[in-house]
């Protein structure tokens, strides 16, 4: 049986906001889409069958973590990441660049060799070049592959960001060469340039010259304000190719997503719904709830009366407060599932409102509430 080619089409727009479909041989992805993060071949605390029931159509896994543990060879030996984790959804793998910056005990960037770094687990030295990152992602057999980039820390140093952007452009070309031709998978370039619009445009133009299946915006969600992030999106939105998916990496809060969709972004990922679920923060249509707070000790109402999926509303705030304050693992499981379900419900509502031409009203209603 022949495999379906990777493809993307936009079906509805309202100003810059748009609804589309990414086609992969493992299934279609309706955009705007949120990808739950399965860092180490699992979305923490949730079965994949339940992830699918939330409406999730793609998940993200992490090249850096999987190359360290359990190692790509172990995953490749069973046929790839889908077989390893028993997942039939499309999977996007990031390149590892962000984790090299944020997690490694010691790292050094060499233009030719790549990123030389020590594992945050045991201090072992690794070298992650653009070619090696692509080799690992091919071994993982992911459906969307990200180029290797350098993700600098948040800084106002123009020259430092310019140098980093130019390095990322060079590595993008090397990643494309290493990837070769595969019509069934997507290869995304990553736009860098910090908070400087001229560098962002230069980076994007370099990537367009190379040619990719999609274009991601990296180097954000690293400490800048929301207004600064939106300024970057405003500066680049008229220049992004209209016929390719646009992916804002590592973002974010529900209001981040609403504002980014308004500026033309199609894809998102973030650990926030799962990490928050493990620490007692719930996302609801009435706003965020920190369930550990003592005011919920005698509150017998559900987290969100509007939620019916998974019978999540049968658990009272009183009960969840008790579970968290006694460190019961069920607490994290319930809130993590609640949060992923909320995010996917948010994305579904975003898509519906764009189709109906009411997204601006929806955006304005919830941008400061969620």
Residue 112 annotated in active site = no
Q: What are phi and psi of 308, to 5 degrees?
A: -115, -25
Q: How far apart are CA 2 and CA 284, in angstroms?
A: 43
How far CA 314 is from CA of 24, 154, 304, 327, in Å, comes to 37, 43, 10, 20
Q: What does DSSP assign to residue 4? A: P
Are the C-beta atoms of residues 149 and 174 closer than 8 Å to each other? no
Q: Sign of the CA dihedral 209, 205, 259, 283?
A: positive
Q: Which of 149, 266, 269, 304 is labelled catalytic?
A: 269
Residue 266 annotated in active site = no
Q: Which of 94, 149, 256, 304 is labelled catalytic?
A: 94
Residue with tokens 């987290």: 303
Please provide the DSSP assignment of 15-74 as one string.
TTEEEEEEEETTEEEEESEEE-B-TTSS-TTS-HHHHHHTT---EEEEHHHHHHTT-HHH
Beta-strand pair 114-118/7-14: unpaired
Q: b/e for 204-214, b at 16 or more Cβ within 10 A?
A: bebbbebebbb
Task: Answer whether the bond into residue 281 is a cis peptide, omega within 30°.
Answer: no
Q: How far apart are CA 197 and CA 201, in angstroms?
A: 6
Active site residues: 94, 269
């Amino acid at each position: 049986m022949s495999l379906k080619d990777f493809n993307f089409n936009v079906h509805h727009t309202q100003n810059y906001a748009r609804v589309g479909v990414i086609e992969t041989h493992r299934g279609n992805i309706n955009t705007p889409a949120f990808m739950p993060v399965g860092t180490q071949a699992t979305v923490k605390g949730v079965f994949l069958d339940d992830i699918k029931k939330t409406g999730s159509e793609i998940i993200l896994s992490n090249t850096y973590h999987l190359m360290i543990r359990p190692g790509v060879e172990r995953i490749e030996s069973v046929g790839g990441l889908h077989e390893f984790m028993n997942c039939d959804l499309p999977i996007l793998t990031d390149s590892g660049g962000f984790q090299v910056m944020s997690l490694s005990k010691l790292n050094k960037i060499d233009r030719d060799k790549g990123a030389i770094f020590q594992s945050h687990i045991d201090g072992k030295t690794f070298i992650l070049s653009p070619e090696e990152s692509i080799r690992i992602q091919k071994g993982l057999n992911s459906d969307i592959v990200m180029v290797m980039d350098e993700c600098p820390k948040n800084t106002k140093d123009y020259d430092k960001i310019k140098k980093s952007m130019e390095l990322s452009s060079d590595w993008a070309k090397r990643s494309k060469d290493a990837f070769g031709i595969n019509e069934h998978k997507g290869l995304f370039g990553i736009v860098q340039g910090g908070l400087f619009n001229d560098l962002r445009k230069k980076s994007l133009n370099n990537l367009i010259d190379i040619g990719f299946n999609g274009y991601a915006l990296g180097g954000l969600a690293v400490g800048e304000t929301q207004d600064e992030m939106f300024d970057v999106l405003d500066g680049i939105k008229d220049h992004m190719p209209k016929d390719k998916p646009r992916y804002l990496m590592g973002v974010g809060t529900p209001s981040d997503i609403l504002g980014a969709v308004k500026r033309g972004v199609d894809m998102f990922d973030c650990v926030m719904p799962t990490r928050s679920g493990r620490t007692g923060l719930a996302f609801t249509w009435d706003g965020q709830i920190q369930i550990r707070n003592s005011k919920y000790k005698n509150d017998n109402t559900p987290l969100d009366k509007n939620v019916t999926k998974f019978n999540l509303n049968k658990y009272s705030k009183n009960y969840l407060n008790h579970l968290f304050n006694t460190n019961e693992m069920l607490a994290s499981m319930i809130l993590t599932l609640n949060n992923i379900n909320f995010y996917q419900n948010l994305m579904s509502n975003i898509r519906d409102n764009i189709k109906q031409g009411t997204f601006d009203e929806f955006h304005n209603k919830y941008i400061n509430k969620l």
